[in-house]
Amino acid sequence: MKLLITGSHGLVGTNIIPVLSSHFDIVPLDIEEWDIIDRNAGEHILQSHKPQVLINLAAMTDVDGCEDRQEMAQKINSDGPATVAELCKTFNIPLIHFSTDYVFDGEKTLPYTEEDIPHPMSIYGATKLSGERHIQEIHPLSIIIRAQWIYGHGGDNFISKVTRIARETGAATVVDDQWGAPTYAKDLAEPIRRLVEKGKPGIYNIAKQRFLQLV
């Protein structure tokens, strides 16, 4: 089975592609090969590669940067997924799209479920939620994955930032009012493999052990 993966050079793509490559034929593309806002480029790519599944990892994930560049965040996190969904529907390709826990407000004291109503508190969360909704409207049989606190090799993340600051300054100060489930990026490969093979549409809030009970 051939999988086309956008945003392949990011933290998630860098970690999952080596694992998925042992199960599937992977076509990795980053913004240099396809800016997902570009519909014409997307048509050409899908016609050329003829993937059986498309995994969209392309996103603007810099939370503070999204606040400063709201128009760009809207284009990449909302308009881009809409374009991808339209193309996947046209070419009859299943779509797996990566979203985020930032679609929620963080006020709940228990883990969020797929039935909880999103209420983003940032431009990043709002644009990612908008992207989710575009996909659900355009290509409703798609799969949406929400993950949080992703860390691993090959990309900047919370753990790498804290480690770097501690090494440079001898100490690191962090907030103490946030709760989450750190997710090793490489561990996302197995849930993705299962979703590709089962093709079960819907929204999945991924925490590794819980996910293995759902699918």
* CA distances for 208 relative to 62, 106, 211, angstroms: 24, 20, 5
Considering only CA atoms, which of 17, 18, 63 is closest in space to residue 158?
Answer: 63
Which residues, including other chains, have CB under 8 Å from residue 78's CB and lie 6 or more apart?
127, 128, 130, 131, 134
Question: Residue 6 has which token pair?
Answer: 């956008």
- Conformational region of residue 170, where left means phi above 0, alpha means psi within -120 to 50, and beta covers everything else: left
Q: List, by residue number, the catalytic residues.
A: 124
Q: Say how far residue 12 (Cα) sits from the centre of its chain.
A: 8
Edge to edge, what strands does the sheet with 202-205 contain? 25-28, 2-6, 53-56, 95-100, 143-147, 202-205
Q: For residue 73, what is the enclosing H or E element?
A: helix 70-74
Distances (CA, A) of 59 to 45, 48, 78, 89, 142: 19, 23, 9, 20, 17
